[in-house]
Structure formats: structure tokens, C-alpha cells
Amino acid sequence: MTTGRLFTDKDRLARQLVSCPHVHKPRRGESTYLDDHGPPAPRVLPFPSQVVYNRVGKCGSRTVVILLRLLAEKHQFNLVSSDIHNKTRLTKHEQVDLMKNISNIPQPFLYTRHVHFLNFTRFRIEQPVYINIIRDPINRFLSNYFFRRFGDWRGEQNHLIRTPGMKDDERYLDINVCILENYPECSNPRVFYIIPYFCGQHPQCREPGVWALERAKQNVLENYLLVGILEELEDVLLLLERLLPHYFTGVLNIYKSPDYRKMGNMTGTVRKHTPTLEALQVLYHRMRYEYEFYNFIRDQFHLMKKKIGLKSVSQPTAYSPAFLQELALRTPEPLDEDEELDTDLEDANSWLVHP
């Protein structure tokens, strides 16, 4: 930011001296470079110099924002990280105001906020380059469910600050009850969450269905430089370093450093556990469009990795029809009423490795 201001101030001074030569007459011995040669050439900005990361909730965005703060200082780009977390859908006037504000950030910049895709060209404003990261939809849902209730390792009272109005009967609601008894938090349209971030601000983008799914795919292909998946975060960072070196050079070294690891571990959600098989099956069915989109993104991401020579091991998603069928075969017979099931489902919890 200091460098940007320096160039701006120099340009402004040069223009003033050239347009108003009578303001300053050089004395004997003073340089007349500007009179002889005109203002210095404007700084050539790398492309792209306008990047928007409309980060999806509970998809590793806090991890990436911590990295971006360190990178912005290192590479001297302007990082603007909005502290608005609960307003992803905007009126037409709010969209225009936000897009104008983003466009006026001194370049190069990276703007990040939890907000659904904004179509700058619709309002004849220059379209920035978009980036994003998503994750397995059920894992994202579980992380959000428990984070809202119990926060993360940054502080025991973190969740009380974020959801102060939540009553205890809601805070301690069993997730299986929430899913199986069709509570609003665990059913559509609330679980139709990832696709609207890419579909946009159209009201139909919030309705679970093929229209929103296809529009989200089209926007990804036309407007996003990269959409990665959290399950392969190191490869996402590697690709960002290749595609946007003036923003992300050195990001993997920072990410793997002991100091960053210590800081990043504070963002893990606490008290998170896996629902029953029956609840998972119901939830998967409700999120089938989300999974179709996730699989599309994963395929696109693997295709880009292949183009630059990174190998991808083809693995099924954590929660797929095949997985649910296999898990059903491994589920033990129901216990008698007087027995207690004392197991922590280590295998199941091992899938939930990301905050």
C-alpha cells in the first residue's frame, strides 16, 4: 500500500508541475527533468490486478485469509477483507454500491467477503477475476452446525459472541433430531448453501434445482480463474501460486511453517461429530444438487492440475451413494434397549479433518 501511494503522489506532483509551470520556477542548480521529459511513465500493473474471493462459509476461508494478510504485507498488494459475514444477498442498489467500492480500491487488490457472485458486467463495471474454495457439502454443513453452537479453539466463549441469542435447547439440539425431524436449519433451502455463492444474486439462485446448478457451473467456467477443493488445499495453494504469482508467491512456505500451523490450528471447530447413517442418507438426498456441483468443481480442479503436471488420485467423495451403501453393510445390528453403544466412531471422525 505504501508503494502504491508513493507512485500516486509522484504522478500527481508531476501532473501539477507540467500543467501549471508558473507555480514553480527552477532556481539555478535545480533539476529540470520534468520540464524536459514530462511525467514518469505510469507503473505497469501485473494482470490480473483486481481479484475477488467471495469466500464460502466454513470452507477454509479463515485459513486462507490469515495467509493473505501475510502475503499482502510481503508482496505489497491491497487486501480488503470485509467484516460483514451475514449478508450474502444484496438488493440491486447494494450490488452497485459494493461493486463501485470494490472497483475503486487501489490496484493491485484482493477483495474478500462472504457474498454471492456479483455480475459486474451487468452494470457496465469492469469484471474482476474470481477465485474460491469449496468442500464436501456434508462436511461443510457439519462444520457450520457445530461452529455456530460451540465455536472453535480460539476461545471458549467464541460461540456465545457469534450466536448470543441462541437458547440452550437449540444450542444442544442433537444433530440427528435436527435432520430426521426436518428442522429448518437441517433442511432445504438452508442446506442449499454452496451453489448460490456461484449462481449469483438472482432470486432463483436460492431455490434448489437444476436452473441454479447450471447457472453456477456457467459462472465458474466464465468468471473464475480457479475454484479449488479444501480436501486438497496444498494443491489449491500451489495452483494459486502458479496462476497469481504477484499475490501468492511463497504461500506454501508460509502454510507449512511451524508458526503458521500453530495459528491455523486455532480455527478448528470443537465438539464436531458424525450423524447416524440414517441421518446421513437423508441429508445426502437433500443435498444432491450440492454434490453434483461439488463433483463438477472437483473434476475441473483435477483437470487444471493435470494440465500443469500435478497428479490427482481419483477418490470418491466422503459422502457418496456408494459410501453410504458400504457403510450400511458395516453397520452393526441394533443393540438391546438396556445396552449402551460406547464408541467414538474413529473411522467416521477421521473424515472430518478440516476446520
Residues 261, 269: Cα–Cα separation, whole Å: 15
Q: What are phi and psi of 180, to 5 degrees?
A: -75, -30
Name residues whose C-beta falls within 8 Å of residue 28's C-beta, 6 or more positions apart in sequence. Answer: none
pLDDT for 18 equals 40
342 domain residue, yes or no: no
Say yes or no to pLDDT of 228 above 60. yes
294 domain residue, yes or no: yes
Q: What are phi and psi of 4, to 5 degrees?
A: -60, -45
104 domain residue, yes or no: yes
Each residue of 20-51: b (16+ CB within 10 Å) or e?
A: eeeeeeeeeeeeeebeeeebeeeeeeeebbbb
Domain that holds residue 239: 50-311+320-328
- Dump pLDDT digits (tens) for 71-130: 999 999 999 999 898 899 999 999 999 999 999 999 999 999 999 999 999 999 999 999
Say yes or no to pLDDT of 302 above 90. yes
pLDDT for 37 equals 62
Name which residue leads in pLDDT, 344 or 149. 149
Say yes or no to pLDDT of 15 above 50. no
Q: How far is CA 223 from CA 15, 37, 45, in A?
A: 36, 41, 20
Say yes or no to pLDDT of 158 above 70. no
Q: How many CB atoms lie within 10 A of CB 274?
A: 20
348 domain residue, yes or no: no
Mean pLDDT of the chain: 81
pLDDT for 151 equals 72
261 domain residue, yes or no: yes
Q: How many CB atoms lie within 10 A of CB 93?
A: 8
Q: Are 72 and 110 in contact (CB under 8 A)?
A: yes
33 domain residue, yes or no: no
pLDDT for 80 equals 98
340 domain residue, yes or no: no
CATH code, domain carrying 245:
3.40.50.300
Give percent of the chain with pLDDT exceeding 70: 71
Q: Which residues are catalytically annotated? A: 114
Name residues whose C-beta falls within 8 Å of residue 319's C-beta, 6 or more positions apart in sequence. Answer: 136, 137, 138, 139, 280, 284, 291
36 domain residue, yes or no: no
Lowest mean pLDDT among 45-54, 176-185, 319-328: 319-328
pLDDT for 338 equals 35
**What's the domain count of the chain?**
1
- DSSP states of 17-37 as a string? HHH-GGG--PPTT---HHHHH
